[in-house]
Amino acid sequence: MDYIITEQRLIKLIDKYITDTVGELHVVDSTNVNAREGDFEIIDDNNYLVFEFVDHNLGIKQQLFLTIMNYLNMNTSETEGLFKRWFEYKFPNEFILNTYCSIYY
């Protein structure tokens, strides 16, 4: 049986999944050597990097990215788009150009 859900409901599902599996997220200043003013990192309660927002690009922890991609049976491009929409939902005042799966964290 197939289900059709709205994009907004999908974004909320992803947000709940992230909160339930990763935990509460915290925004901190970026430690990236290429960071500019206004760039930031999003870490979990254990201070592990989950997302990195540098130069309007969102890096996503590889394990989280692949879990969502496999769980929802999406390709890489669709998963990047989903995380972009999630980021716009969580940070509506930030302009985002691109998302990517980071192999570094």
User: Rounded mean pLDDT of 81-97?
Assistant: 95
Question: Measured between alpha carbons, how far is 104 from 67 in angstroms, rounded to an integer?
Answer: 16
Q: Which two tokens stand for residue 2?
A: 């197939």
Parent domain of 40 = 7-102
pLDDT tens digits for range 8-31: 999 999 999 999 999 999 999 999
Residue 46 lies in a domain: yes
Residue 97, pLDDT above cutoff 90:
yes
Which pLDDT band, with edges at 50, 70 and 90, does 1 fall under? confident
Judge whether 2 lies within some domain: no
Asked, for residue 1, whether it belongs to a domain, the answer is no
Q: Would 44 be classed as within a structural domain?
A: yes
Is 75 part of a structural domain of the chain?
Answer: yes
- Count of residues making up the chain: 105
91 assigned to some structural domain: yes
Instruction: Please give the model's pTM, rounded to 2 decimal places.
Output: 0.90
pLDDT digits (tens, 9 = 90+) for 27-83: 999 998 889 999 999 999 999 999 999 999 999 999 999 999 999 999 999 999 999
Report which secondary-structure segment, H or E, holds 12: helix 7-21
Q: How far apart are CA 84 and CA 98, in angstroms?
A: 7
For the chain, the domain total comes to 1
Please indicate, yes or no, if residue 42 is contained in any of the structural domains: yes
Q: Tokens at residue 25, please? A: 């997220």
Contact 97, 56 (CB under 8 A): yes
Domain-embedded: residue 20 = yes
* The three-state (H, E, C) secondary structure of 43-64, written as one string: ECCCCCEEEEEECCEEEEEHHH
